Chain A
């Protein structure tokens, strides 16, 4: 919400409050200020100037040198390229060192050798537009023949050395087709058809019809066509067949055919050259022009062409008695580069040279932008914010009661209102205005709208917007002539009904959409947008002002369904004050009278279809203090509520109608706290202890797990929980894999983020790929992330998975396995085993292992299958591990129990064993462990060898064994005995022998 402080001034006097103080205090009382814009900060040193004289620039074909009175002792010299400036005009002058909107600064400088002390400004350069801000300043250029620049110098449309009175083009008239015949298809004959035309006028040589050859194939008997009045030489040259007599569509503009066509009617008369011999401005933008048309001087009544100067050559249409524009000549802009509908903003009325332009356009205003929370639609208005400001600064709120003189008549005789469902439209208030004169609204109103971020349109539309901004009540104005049957019916749309809305779109309505209808048809989508069929246009004579209250949810649903969120709908959907409709329509009618925009018909129709009972609460100061932790006096509370226009009687608090958000004592507590000051509430710490506190066992284990991963060199990542369904194909999940049963997001941001992952692997692979593509050489990552499995009740099981992912020169299967072992050790997971897994489709069949703790499956680790890597565009080795957090937590070992340190020396023995190449090392180790007596304390692998000295189908595996007794020092014989037993077992069960 943009608030003009000049506008605010009408309702609360805060002249002594600066911008910073205002925004800080308003923010702290609940109306958050986002920014304050000082409008003239971007427009400096631009003043009113009066053009004293104009001379053509000695070294330019289009610039003028103007002496300008800017209220200083001496005139300043300004060079301008604009042609709509004339001696005596008041214009905006950007002086030396001026600042324009957009940050442009103007400096004194030479233009083709002539000093210019600044610049005349266009509306656009001042940040304004013709359409919305100064419609009277529209610029219509004549085609000035001196400015003619032929597209192709060899084919000039206007000859060199023109003189007044010289003919530029022939006449064009309307003809009627009498007959069409098809001509023989021969190569010499360029025409397919011969048409007989009724020219409507007697031709020079006495014929009443002419026959013309043409290639146009869309003609029918009875069609009216445009033709160049033929001359004898044309006829003579090509007999009955001419290609140049009929006009093609590109020779015309739509304006050429406003009236009914009659054969013989002249569309264009002959156009001749004329020279401007005198100019006289008789009103703003209006000129009396005297032309030399070749000997004779002739005075034109009125011209609204703004770029003419004495001495200019123009084209004169002898039939229409008008100076031709570019479109009259069917000329392109680049043929007349300086005859443009743009130029300097000529100020209307009288001004003092040197006056500040910023003030003139109302930019001496400060505009405060508020972020208003959705529970406070009342604050989306000047009056609502004035009320908050008055309470914040302890100033009186200035109330305004609209007063209407009225102009006779009786609305009840003209209009009937019917509401079908009061729950959708609790109240509908309407007034009529007759003898409406549609024109731009006055400057002060346009300024206020503009400063509030609303574009001015015309007086009636501007009034509805003005009232909406001031009162917070959206209004709509209908052209009453388009309301059939003098009846307004507020009803839901019927099946199949459509409406073309003001934005020009035809929209299909459904039976849950509330509409404003006349006796026949919808004329407005209630609270959203009006219909084009009842739009206020230039000739609107009678206006119906609607000020209604609609059900917010219904408006919102309709706006969403039609994809048409408007200023009105966004206000309605928050729930508006039904009492406001009356005040708003009265204010609108007051403004109609004030602006002279029409005559207000006596009487007002106000249908209240559903009553909202007023809310009354009980003021309980102790309860409020107990909630806030304060000791605010009852008097202070009453003062605050009163300043917000709550009515107190005893302990009863009557909530104002515009405060639909207040319905409970805690709401009153907020009102009290806001104006007492949130920051005045003391700081205390809650006492008491929580029985459940500290991290749980699981939370501690998760924290440990993260630390373990990092100690192994893996860095933490965070990935999106949603993935693409294609990810399952990329990791080669079988079609029937249960992992493919994912929760689907029905309205995803895109297909690639449309399902909730059941496996964390694709997320990890995506991040590895991204790092790979960034050419990061060595990468080790982990994520402890959730996966999502649909459950019968619509929710999900959301177990977490620890995923490790890595690539790089230092990575291989055993580097990954080392990290997994370290992590499992860190968690003291007992009885860990790894079994080869060649069936997992995502992994390399020879480099993948399932991990178990005892019989409990923990997860998988290995190298990603090259085919999977390929789908991610990677031709290197990727390694990943996926471990179930639940399983890890279940299997995490208990606190360790101290074991006494060995008191007797241990005896090491190395065994190099030769066995089948395919035999898993774990089997050798297991046999050693099982066959070793209690003296065998440790077994560790230290070498695997294949090559010379070992048969090709064998390998040598070397273990280091540690023997020790807890009771005595071992003898060599005891150790030998144990080793022999182990060797026997190895030979018998695995055919492994000492090397």
Chain B
């Protein structure tokens, strides 16, 4: 019996080790360990053994069973590992094949720039206001201290909607200064972006419709130093920290003192190059202290309150930022252009 057990152990172990698939393994388990299996058959002969022989043989039979069970488990694990490997190898993909497209749209570059701009000002405690594009010349010009005979009022420069030149397409976002002061009084701290219109034929740098961003701050004790500090902070955010700026005197009917603000040319660092037309500086915006006549026209006492206003050209900013060379691209809306942003 001992020999029988040893023979079974040896034969079974070999068979298990050499089995190649899970079903073969199951068949071997049945063959040796099943109810009618070879080991079971031997165990059934235990009755014929002597009492002295029985414990030793029993122990041995159990050891053989355990060994076979272990062998079966190990072989099963090995086979399953092998099968997995085969599957994984079969499932291997070419990772250089492009992914399945997920189409997303693109924001217009001008409005990317505008959104960023709004966020800068929102973070500085400003509010964003919206106003009419069809405007009264009263607001677009008169209340902004623009004389009746100012050339900007001419029909060759401004689009009019009535014969008496009373309603027009606003030529600037500055009328929003008046609307904001009239509606909310003081204090005020706002920006107002929007479309403006001037009678310019379309070319690489002109468009009859373009965008401006107006800004207005009015309160007690607002100074030109505040104007400088605020605009410098904003320009650092837009053009990068360390950007050099210069404020130089200019003229607008509705501010006094007035200034234009230049940013040092990013291309030549101020030496002068074609981008900045040799000047070393690129004009960024116009600004100034709100003219006392404008304040009093809105019912605000210029001896008590003061304020500053500024105006950015959005196209210019977006074009500089993305190096867009031709303004027409902005309004052409070619998808190949839009997809770049």
Contacts and interface: CB of A to CB of B under 8 A. Distances in A.
B187 interface: yes
Interface stretch (A314-322, A323-331, A662-670): A662-670
Nearest to A32: B248
B225 A681 contact: yes
Contacts of B163: 746
A717 B187 contact: no
Contacts of A376: 251
A684 B338 CA distance: 39
A681 B228 contact: yes
B229 A718 contact: no
Interface string A784-814: 0010100000111010000000000000000
Contacts of B233: 683, 685
Given A690-B187, A693-B125, A674 B334 contact: no
A35 B276 CA distance: 11
A745 B169 contact: yes
B334 A629 contact: no
Interface string A734-769: 000000000111111100010010000000000100
A749 B128 contact: no
A968 interface: no
B226 A685 contact: yes
Interface stretch (B36-44, B50-58, B80-88, B130-138): B130-138
Interface residues of B, number: 84
Contact of A711 (B104, B166, B223): B104
Contacts of B199: 747, 749
Contacts of A744: 161
A748 B159 contact: yes
A573 to B, nearest CB: 7
A678 B247 contact: yes
Interface stretch (B26-34, B65-73, B325-333): B325-333
A673 B249 contact: yes
B232 interface: yes
A906 interface: no
Given A27-B248, A767-B333, A788-B133, A782 B292 contact: no
Contact of A718 (B108, B147, B249, B293): B108
A780 B223 contact: no
Nearest to A691: B187
A781 B335 contact: yes
B165 to A, nearest CB: 9
Contact of A798 (B125, B134, B197): B134
B263 interface: no
B335 A715 contact: yes
Most buried by B among A685, A718, A753, A780: A718
A28 B279 CA distance: 13
Interface stretch (B10-18, B91-99, B253-261): B253-261
Contacts of B188: 690
A332 interface: no
B334 A776 contact: yes
Contacts of A756: 134, 169
Contacts of B219: 686, 688
Contacts of A666: 256-257, 289, 291-292
Interface string A624-658: 00111110000000000000000000000000000
A774 B334 contact: yes
A711 B105 contact: yes
Interface residues of A, number: 86
B334 A746 contact: no
A770 B332 CA distance: 8
B322 interface: no
Nearest to A628: B224
Interface in A564-597: 573
Interface string A665-706: 011011001100011011111101110111110010001001
A756 B159 CA distance: 11
Nearest to B200: A749
Contact of B127 (A553, A560, A692): A692
A688 B187 contact: yes
A967 B230 CA distance: 61
A374 B151 contact: yes
Contacts of B251: 373-376, 661
Contact of B248 (A28, A667, A722, A771): A28
A88 interface: no
B162 interface: yes
A786 B257 contact: no
Contacts of B197: 721
Nearest to A766: B333
Given A686-B226, A710-B106, A776-B336, A573 B162 contact: no
A30 B132 CA distance: 34
Interface string A348-380: 000000000000000000000000011110000
Nearest to B159: A745
Contacts of A692: 127, 184
Most buried by A among B125, B148, B336, B339: B125
Most buried by A among B155, B225, B333, B334: B333
Interface string B301-323: 00000100000000000000000
A900 to B, nearest CB: 32
Contacts of A678: 228, 246-249, 257, 259
B334 A670 contact: no
Contact of B208 (A686, A690, A749, A796): A749
A557 interface: yes
Rank and list the top 9 A-B pairs by shortest CB-CB distance, nearest first.
A629-B225, A629-B223, A30-B249, A670-B257, A373-B251, A553-B149, A710-B105, A713-B103, A683-B229
Interface of B: 103-108, 110-111, 115, 118, 122, 125-128, 132-136, 147-149, 151, 154-156, 159-163, 166-167, 169, 184, 187-189, 195, 197, 199, 201, 208-209, 217, 219, 221-226, 228-230, 232-233, 246-251, 256-259, 277-278, 289, 291-293, 306, 330-336, 338-339
21 contacts: A28-B246, A628-B224, A670-B257, A673-B257, A682-B225, A682-B228, A683-B229, A684-B228, A686-B226, A688-B219, A693-B189, A694-B122, A715-B338, A716-B106, A717-B333, A718-B330, A718-B331, A721-B195, A749-B199, A756-B134, A781-B338
Given A628-B223, A706-B111, A774-B334, 4 more contacts: A661-B251, A715-B339, A718-B331, A794-B162
